[in-house]
């Protein structure tokens, strides 16, 4: 079977971050630090690990800090060079993408995730592409998208990452109706965005990592609004599923919703305790804080 290579990824970063205000009043939520890097860096690293060659950010007003972050900071670099801080300079250089490997397109109105992805259509072109929701950080031995890319290379078609949530939480997510399961991979019978607990077809939520075929873009073009009055990617995927192979993949790892205050805190705790240089210090800090506050 010929499988078109996966080269591009879309990161929708236009959201306002209302659930973590006031922290996000004047900085994009994607730039909130998780230990020692902005959240978006983790997601970009995950995409690169999966072999992605071009990243398309769908941004909005007040998000220019993201573009600046992935650009050279000439003044800062000159000062660091003058002070002989070559280690810091080198660390900054590792962030820099190869010239021309990142694109930025604006979503001019908050019409939903489906609309955000559609805004990237000209840059995606006629190729399969990944979507990574940057609110969601995923920790795992192998990155979630790299796991999916491996499955994609074998099966082609469309693949979305899923994981279990308690029944009480299904209304916050897209939820799938799984069919036959082989290992971690399930065929799909359906999916629904933000169902009430009693209507949810399962407790497998759509995690926020997708590999999609470009035909989804034509469906998004005329997708009617769905849950929350927004153009939902889930609704267009449910239509695409009628004509194309579609699988759900239960990835290995743990996800953190950084668009939520406690989810963000959980991410910081986990990534600090897994950090090669800071883990020991972080553990001592957490134990100390618990001893004093409990
Ligand atoms: C989006 C998707 C939803 C998915 C969720 C994961 O919802 O629409 O299907 O389960 O991300 O975080 P949002 O969080 O933007 O409401």
Mutational test site, ligand 1, from 174, 193, 231, max ligand atoms within 8 Å of CB: 174
Q: Where are the domains of the chain?
A: 8-259
96-139 confidence digits (pLDDT tens): 999 999 999 999 999 999 999 999 999 999 999 999 999 999 99
pLDDT over 80 at 9, yes or no: yes
pLDDT over 90 at 279, yes or no: yes
For residue 229, the model assigns a pLDDT of 94
Residues of the chain with pLDDT > 90: what percent?
93
Rg (CA), the chain: 20
Q: If you ran DSSP here, which 8-state letter would residue 25 be given?
A: S
User: Is the minimum distance from the CB of 136 to ligand 1 under 6 angstroms?
Assistant: yes
Please tell me the distance from the alpha carbon of residue 222 to that of residue 154, in angstroms, as a whole number: 31
Yes or no: is domain 8-259 CATH 3.90.550.10?
yes
pLDDT over 90 at 294, yes or no: no
pTM assigned to the model:
0.95
The answer to whether the CB of 184 falls within 8 A of the CB of 293 is: no
- Work out the number of other CB atoms within 10 angstroms of the CB of residue 20: 18
186-245 confidence digits (pLDDT tens): 999 999 999 999 999 999 999 999 999 999 999 999 999 999 999 999 999 999 999 999
Q: Whose CA is nearest to atom 14 of ligand 1?
A: 173
Contacts made by residues 185-191, CB under 8 angstroms, sequence distance 24+:
185/151, 185/155, 185/247, 185/248, 185/249, 185/250, 186/162, 186/247, 186/248, 186/249, 186/250, 187/246, 187/247, 188/241, 188/246, 188/247, 188/248, 190/238, 190/241, 191/234, 191/237, 191/238, 191/241
User: Is the minimum distance from the CB of 205 to ligand 1 under 6 angstroms?
Assistant: yes
Taking the CA of residue 208 as reference, the ligand 1 atom at the shortest distance is 6
pLDDT over 90 at 1, yes or no: no
């Amino acid at each position: 079977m010929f499988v078109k290579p996966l080269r591009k990824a879309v990161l929708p970063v236009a959201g306002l971050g209302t659930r973590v205000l006031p922290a996000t009043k004047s900085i994009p939520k994607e730039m909130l630090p998780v230990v020692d890097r902005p959240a978006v860096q983790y997601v970009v690293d995950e995409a690169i690990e999966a072999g992605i060659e071009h990243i398309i950010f769908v941004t909005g007003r007040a998000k220019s800090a993201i573009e600046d972050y992935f650009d050279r900071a000439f003044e800062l670099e000159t000062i660091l060079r003058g002070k002989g801080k070559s280690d810091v300079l080198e660390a900054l250089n590792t962030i820099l993408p190869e010239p021309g490997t990142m694109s930025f397109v604006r979503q001019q109105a908050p019409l939903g995730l489906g609309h955000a992805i559609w805004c990237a259509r000209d840059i995606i072109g006629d190729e399969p592409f990944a979507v990574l929701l940057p609110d969601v950080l995923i920790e795992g031995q192998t990155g979630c998208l790299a796991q999916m890319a491996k499955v994609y290379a074998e099966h082609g078609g469309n693949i979305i990452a899923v994981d279990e949530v308690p029944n009480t939480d299904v209304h916050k997510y897209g939820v799938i109706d799984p069919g036959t399961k082989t290992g971690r991979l399930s065929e799909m019978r359906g999916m629904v965005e933000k169902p009430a607990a009693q209507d949810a077809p399962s407790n497998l939520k759509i995690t926020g990592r997708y590999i999609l075929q470009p035909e989804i873009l034509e469906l998004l073009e005329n997708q009617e609004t769905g849950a929350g009055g927004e153009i939902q990617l889930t609704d267009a995927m449910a239509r695409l599923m009628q004509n194309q192979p579609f699988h759900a993949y239960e990835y290995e790892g743990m996800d953190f919703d950084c668009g939520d205050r406690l989810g963000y805190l959980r991410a910081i705790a986990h990534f600090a305790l897994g950090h090669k240089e800071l883990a020991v210090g972080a553990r001592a800090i957490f134990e100390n804080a618990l001893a004093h506050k409990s």
